[in-house]
A and B are shown apart, each in its own frame.
Chain A
Amino acid sequence: MERPIAYDKLAREDRFVRMRARRVGEIRSEQGLPVMPDLASMESIRERVHGILVGELQAMEGAGRTVYDFPDAPWEFTMDMARQTWDESRHVEVFSRLLEHLGGYIGEFPETTILWRCACAEDAAARVAGVNRGLEGLACDVFVQLVEIARRLPDPTIAQSVDYVLADEITHVRMGSYWLNRLTEGDPERRQRAVEFQESIDERFNLGGMRRDGPADQVPIAIATEYRKLAGFTDEEIERLVKSTQRSPVY
């Protein structure tokens, strides 16, 4: 098997509809819709859940590739990535069932592959920085908000199942924080490159200003400060992320 594989080797059933993220944004804009579903209606919640489902699928595929692509990495690293692969497979099942619970189906909305592209970074340290800290950090932000909205609806099915997924995501971010440090020990340049990769992902997923500091019910995606601290983000990193959201095009 190739190590690593090309982006376009990602395999899908025909029912999935793949589209470039930029094109999805253009279509949404043409239709007068926000860049990301705003969770203001059941349809937008369903669309968000579909987006999370394909994200979890790519996270499982990415973690699996990390197990395969780095046979010389420390064994404990492989163990963590194998564990993450299992966790992500459960998340796919959770969100598949939630999608059905909301009356949706796989392929109802397009799939973009930004997460998968991040998971194809050639350096293991960049992968854990970008995927575990950047994207799984974003997942913490998104899930905290989804749980809050589900509690308000109220929809205890969504609230409880997503809360369990959130607990896993915090564990994955924690793994990312640990392995970013371990893998780059004594190699500040490698660490810097990995951190820059993560920051580029953070910038991209500020989603034109949709992710912001503020109460979950008042901003499109709120930065989950307390959960991020639990996952190993420092106050300085959170502050930097907040500042980066203020630099995004919406401001």
Chain B
Amino acid sequence: MTGVTPSPADQPAAELAGHLGVEATARRVRHYRYAEERMMRVMAGWIALTPELPAKLLLGRQVWDCAQHADQWGKRMPELRAPAQVSEPSGPEFVRFMDALEAREAWGETIERLTGVFRVLKPHLVAVYAAHLARANPVYEPPTRRILERCLSDERRHLGEGASVLEALARTPADRARVSAWERELRGMLTAHGGLTGGAE
């Protein structure tokens, strides 16, 4: 036998092993709130600038879910010894990424708008939330885990809805090339500096 079998006395310690401390979790939650709040405001602002009715309604339907995500993250903060309802980006690079995503506001740029949200930002959020959930301690972090589960469930549904609308909009090879080009550019900006968490594990 090469490994060490934990003694019964070690079991509680293993169950209480943690990923992020209280302050680090509070900071992470502020980053999540920044992403959800900013995405929510941008999607809301785009509704009037988007001609295609299915895309318009898609944005309109999802704004409230994102607002609720931001709100739940904001309410979690005082439970982590931090001020309530504060949004904080992980760094200027993430702000620049969001600025670039938001800037595609012309009538003819619905494909880029939906690409930015449904092929780059939301998939990234899902990946980050899922990774956090996988490591969040089930004994003392259920409050965070519950919010992560709710957000993950909604964001995965949003991705499905967004993919359908984007597929219907991007019918020609030229349209699909626009999707690929913008996705590549945005994804490059997002991942170059560690994305939503600024590279923190």
A234 to B167, CA, bound (A): 50
Asked if B67 CB lies within 8 Å of chain A CBs, one says: yes
Interchain CB contact under 8 A, B67 and A64: no
User: In the bound complex, how far is the Cα of B44 from the Cα of A106, in angstroms?
Assistant: 23
Number of residues from B at the complex interface, CB < 8 A: 31
Q: A13-B52, A64-B47 are in contact. Are A82 and B105 (CB under 8 A)?
A: no
By beta carbon, the residue of chain B nearest A13 is B51
B59 close to A (CB within 8 Å) = yes
Asked if B60 is at the interface of the complex by the 8 Å CB criterion, the answer is yes
Q: Is the CB of A75 within 8 A of B105?
A: no
For the residues of B in contact with A, the DSSP-based class is: helix
Q: Which residues of B contact A93 (CB under 8 A)?
A: 57
Which chain B residues lie closer than 8 Å to A12 at the CB level? 51
CA distance A88 to B61 in the complex (A): 9
Residue from B45, B61, B107 within 8 A of A65 (CB atoms): B45
For residue A85, which residue of chain B has the nearest CB? B63
From known contacts A67-B40, A88-B60, A92-B60, infer whether A83 and B48 are also in contact, taking CB-CB under 8 Å.
no
Cα distance, A12 to B102, chains bound together (Å): 20
Q: Judge whether A61 is part of the interface by a CB distance below 8 angstroms.
A: yes
Contact in complex: A67, B60 (CB < 8 Å): no
What separation, in Å, do the CA atoms of A77 and B74 have in the docked complex? 15
Cross-chain contact of B47 among A61, A69, A78, A83 (Cβ < 8 A): A61
Give per-residue flags for B46-72: 1 if the beta carbon is below 8 A from chain A beta carbons, else 0. 111111110011011101111100010
Closest residue of B by beta carbon distance from A89: B60
Could you say which residues of chain B place their CB within 8 Å of the CB of A85? 44, 47, 60, 63-64
Decide if A21 is an interface residue (CB 8 Å cutoff).
no
Instruction: Give chain A residues whose Cβ lies under 8 Å from the Cβ of B150.
Output: none
- Complex: how many Å from CA A78 to CA B64? 10
What B residues does A138 contact at CB under 8 A? none
Q: Is B42 interfacial (CB 8 A cutoff)? A: yes
Query: Nearest CB to that of B84 among chain A residues?
Result: A75
User: Which A residues from 53 to 77 make CB contacts under 8 A with B?
Assistant: 57, 60-65, 67-69, 71, 75
Check B42–A68 contact: CB distance below 8 A. yes
B41 lies within 8 A of chain A by Cβ:
yes
Query: Please, what's the 1-or-0 string for A7-31, where 1 marks a CB less than 8 Å from any CB in chain B?
Result: 0011111000000000000000000
> Residue A13 contacts which of B53, B67, B85 (CB distance < 8 angstroms)?
B53
When C-beta atoms are compared, the residue in chain B nearest to A67 turns out to be B44
Chain A: minimal CB distance from B103 (Å): 8
Q: Within the complex, what minimum Cβ distance (angstroms) separates B72 from chain A?
A: 11
Determine if B57 and A83 form an interchain contact, defined as CB atoms under 8 angstroms apart: no
- Distance in angstroms between the alpha carbons of A60 and B61 in the assembled complex: 10
Pairwise interchain contact B85-A75, C-beta atoms closer than 8 A: yes
Q: How far is the CB of B94 from chain A (nearest CB, A)?
A: 17
- Once A1-B105, A11-B51 are accepted as A-B contacts, the answer to whether A69 and B61 lie under 8 Å apart by CB is no
A224 to B66, CA, bound (A): 34
A69 to B44, CA, bound (A): 10
Among residues 81 to 122 in chain A, which have CB atoms less than 8 Å away from a CB atom of chain B?
81-83, 85-86, 88-90, 92-93, 106, 116
Q: Answer whether A86 and B64 are a contact pair too, CB < 8 Å, given A11-B48, A12-B51, A61-B48.
A: yes
Which residues of chain B are within 8 angstroms of A61 by Cβ–Cβ distance? 47-48, 56
Q: Does the CB pair A82–B64 fall under 8 Å?
A: yes
Q: B48–A5 contact, CB under 8 A? A: yes
Which of A62, A63, A106: most chain B CB closer than 10 A?
A63
Contact present for B59 and A64 (CB under 8 Å): yes
Q: How far is the CB of B132 from chain A (nearest CB, A)?
A: 23
Pull 20 A–B residue pairs with CB atoms less than 8 Å apart, ordered by A: A1-B42, A5-B48, A11-B51, A11-B56, A13-B52, A61-B48, A64-B60, A65-B45, A65-B47, A67-B40, A68-B41, A68-B45, A79-B71, A85-B60, A86-B64, A88-B60, A89-B57, A89-B61, A92-B60, A106-B53
Known pairs A13-B51, A67-B40 / 7 extra A-B pairs, C-beta < 8 Å:
A1-B103, A5-B48, A13-B53, A63-B44, A68-B41, A82-B64, A92-B60
A residues in contact (CB < 8 Å) with B: 1-2, 5, 9-13, 57, 60-65, 67-69, 71, 75, 78-79, 81-83, 85-86, 88-90, 92-93, 106, 116
